[in-house]
């Protein structure tokens, strides 16, 4: 009778290998029978070793082994237990979820073994590993157009480690390097140096708030770019290396109806009409008006006799909006003697910014009228109050909405620079000729620095006032008032 003298096993997470030492009886052992379910089912083999595969990790299996000789005599069963190992985590792949010239974000796709993955370890170019609980990791401080070797492994809750996964990634080129390559550079000391000829392959150089800026001027043909489903034109390379674009719509046509994202007033709030607050991309508190009555000019005006006008015996004045409203007895009609001694907007409306008083009937088409005048109430005397950046202008509201729909909601905001901004220069001046830093509040008549510089043809890309430099909330510069950039 054959005898199974000894059985040894070795285990992995999904397999158990059995090795049998059997002794012949009257015949020679030629068949081996293996069971992993305590003898309920056997697998026949001619080999003294056998491997059960596809097993569940960290599980005990009740093994039985018997042998048969060439006389068809079967040995007694040999029983033994064996347990599969814990399954270690497995990293299936690593994908680049964001690639920039100076940073790369990767996402690790891993499968847990017997236990949950608790940590990921990341290394770049054979550097030391950094631990993270997230399967996403961003390597920063990189160089554009450079290949890096990334290594990742995962560890589970009982410290079982996956194999190291190696992945090579090449960072994108810096867009500014592409733009600046093979260009000639010029300097414009004055904006009066205009260029009507083609200036392709030419950039002009000056300083902005972050460093040296390179910009296009004249009539270039090499500054179009397609981004986020629209065509744009590159205005300049900013001093921090980011690229400033201007919207050009759905085509490259220079004068296209699609080259604007909408139309409307810069500000629609009546309270800031004819107020220094109204020039801001954001604004603070507007000043109030004082009604100076019939203090304007008197003249003989030509009247359109085909129009219908409203006129009244009195009026009211709103010092917040600066609007007049017809009051008392209000009439409607065409021009005639009945309008003499009455107040009118010379429109078929009861409210207007500029009121008129009809002094006398001159002819069937002319009237002697006196204009009303308004003055600064004097309640605002500080630019910090006027330009406090507490309220959005109408144009900012419209741009924020467009950005939300076309950039942020479509996943393009990750490509937008989170540091650079633009200058809504509100440096005040009471003079057209030179910047004297006076005015800029309430109803004070003010000429702002851009207008003065334009008359002087001075080129300036720097922003002199932090409050006027509109930057994202994440920026290291400016007023950090743009909250639509992630």
Tokens representing 79 are 């029983």
Look at residue 419 and give its three-state secondary structure.
coil
pLDDT at 386 over 70: yes
Residue 189: predicted pLDDT: 63
- How many whole angstroms separate alpha carbon 472 and alpha carbon 485? 6
pTM of this prediction? 0.65
CA distances from 182 to 173, 176, 178, 203 (A): 15, 12, 9, 10
| φ, ψ dihedrals at 452, nearest 5° | -65, -45
Does the pLDDT of residue 191 top 70, yes or no? no
Q: Are 63 and 48 in contact (CB under 8 A)?
A: no
What is the per-residue pLDDT for 185? 86
Cα 284 versus chain centre, distance: 26
Q: Residue 418: pLDDT above 70?
A: yes
The rounded percent of the chain whose pLDDT value lies above 90 is: 67
Would you put residue 478 in left (φ > 0), alpha (ψ -120 to 50) or beta? left
Give me the mean pLDDT over the 443-460 stretch. Answer: 84
Largest CA distance in the chain: 145
Q: Tell me if residue 114 falls in helix, strand or coil.
A: coil
Q: Where residue 55 falls among pLDDT bands split at 50, 70, 90?
A: very high
**What's the pLDDT score for residue 229?**
94
235-261, pLDDT tens digit by residue? 999 888 889 999 999 888 876 677 888
Q: Which two tokens stand for residue 99?
A: 């690639």
| Tally of CB atoms within 10 A around 18 | 23
Nearby residues of 436 by Cβ (< 8 Å), 6 or more positions away = 429, 430
Strands 366-371 and 351-352, how do they pair? unpaired
Q: Is the dihedral of CA 415, 416, 420, 423 positive or negative?
A: positive
Per DSSP, the three-state class of 237 is: strand
Given a cut of 80, is residue 194 above it in pLDDT?
A: no
Q: Which residues contact 390 (CB under 8 A, 6 or more apart)?
A: 282, 283, 284, 285
Instruction: Please tell me the predicted confidence (pLDDT) of residue 125.
Output: 97
DSSP string of 118-132? EEEEEEETT---EEE
DSSP secondary structure string for all residues of 48-109: SEEEE-SPPTT-EEEEEEEEEETT--BPPPEEEEEEPPPPPPEEEEEEEEEE-SS-EEEEEE
């Amino acid at each position: 009778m054959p005898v199974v003298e000894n059985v040894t096993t070795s285990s992995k997470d999904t397999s158990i290998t059995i090795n049998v030492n059997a002794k012949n009886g009257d015949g020679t052992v030629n068949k081996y029978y293996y069971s992993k379910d305590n003898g309920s089912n056997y697998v026949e083999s001619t080999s003294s070793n056998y491997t059960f595969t596809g097993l569940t990790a960290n599980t005990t299996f009740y093994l039985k082994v018997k042998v048969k000789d060439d006389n068809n005599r079967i040995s007694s069963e040999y029983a033994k237990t064996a347990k599969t190992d814990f399954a270690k985590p497995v990293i299936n792949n690593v994908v680049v979820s964001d690639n920039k010239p100076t940073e790369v974000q990767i996402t690790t796709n891993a499968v847990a073994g017997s236990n949950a993955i608790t940590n990921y370890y990341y290394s770049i170019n054979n550097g030391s590993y950094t631990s993270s609980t997230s399967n996403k990791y961003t390597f920063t401080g990189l160089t554009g157009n450079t290949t890096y070797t990334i290594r990742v492994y995962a560890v589970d809750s009982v410290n079982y480690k996956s194999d190291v996964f190696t992945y090579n990634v090449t960072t994108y080129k810096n867009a500014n390097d592409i733009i600046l390559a093979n260009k000639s550079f010029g300097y414009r000391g004055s904006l009066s140096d205009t260029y009507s000829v083609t200036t392709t392959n030419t950039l002009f150089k000056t300083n902005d708030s972050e460093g040296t800026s390179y910009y296009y001027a004249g009539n270039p043909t090499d500054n179009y770019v397609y981004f986020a489903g629209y065509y744009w034109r590159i205005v300049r390379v900013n001093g921090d290396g980011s690229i400033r674009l201007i919207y050009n719509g759905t085509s490259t046509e220079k004068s296209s109806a699609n080259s604007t994202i909408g139309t409307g007033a810069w500000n629609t709030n009546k309270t800031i009409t004819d107020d220094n607050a109204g020039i801001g991309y954001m604004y603070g508190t507007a000043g109030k008006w004082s009604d100076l009555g019939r203090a304007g000019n008197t003249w003989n005006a030509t009247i359109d006799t085909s129009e219908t006008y409203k006129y009244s015996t009195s009026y009211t004045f709103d010092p917040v909006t600066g609007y007049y409203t017809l009051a008392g007895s209000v009439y409607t009609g065409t021009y005639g003697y009945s309008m003499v001694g009455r107040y009118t907007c010379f429109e078929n409306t009861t409210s207007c910014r500029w009121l008129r008083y009809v002094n006398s009937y001159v002819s069937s088409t002319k009237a002697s009228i006196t204009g009303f005048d308004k003055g600064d109430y004097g309640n605002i005397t500080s630019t910090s109050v006027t330009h406090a950046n507490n309220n959005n202008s109408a144009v900012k509201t419209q741009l924020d909405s467009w950005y939300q729909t076309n950039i942020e909601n479509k996943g393009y905001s990750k490509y937008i620079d989170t540091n650079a901004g633009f200058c809504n220069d509100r440096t005040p001046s009471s003079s057209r000729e030179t910047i004297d830093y006076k005015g800029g509040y309430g109803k004070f008549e003010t000429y702002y620095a851009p207008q003065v510089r334009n008359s002087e043809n001075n080129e300036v890309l720097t922003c002199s006032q932090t409050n006027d430099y509109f930057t994202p909330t994440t920026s290291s510069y400016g007023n950090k008032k743009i909250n639509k950039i992630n």
